[in-house]
Amino acid sequence: MSEYFVIMSFELNDKNLMDDWKALSKEIDEDIAKAEGFISRDSGVDEDGRVYCLVKWKSKMHQENFRTQLEARTDYAEIMQDFARIGNMETSVNQMIEVF
């Protein structure tokens, strides 16, 4: 199995929400760190204010299992609503990269 990166980028709904994003990002870090196969997660912003999240997994299977478990959570809709309050989902781009 090859390691696997998920890179997500998006714009904030409002540039003034950066502190809200940082707080939510910290919660995400704490939650995802418990997932089987999780290696690392970094988040940053470019000069245009676009936010990037880079998540590394032991394999694509580990990432897919986490996604399935996340979507099955009873608080999933609430999580996504909070995320959408901060991040402009219309600008969201996801890239999946298998590491050689």
For residue 90, the domain's CATH number is 3.30.70.100
Q: Give me the tens of pLDDT residue by residue for the chain, a chain 100 residues long.
A: 799 999 999 999 999 999 999 999 999 999 999 999 999 999 999 999 999 999 999 999 999 999 999 999 999 999 999 999 999 999 999 999 999 8
Q: Provide the β-strand partners of residue 55.
A: 6, 41
Task: State the helix-helix crossing angle for 60-72 and 76-86, rounded to 10 degrees.
Answer: 100
For 1-100, where are the E strands, in sequence order? 4-12, 38-45, 50-57, 87-98
SS3 1: coil
Structurally, how many domains does the chain consist of?
1
- Report which DSSP code applies to 87: E
The residue range of the domain holding 41 is 4-98
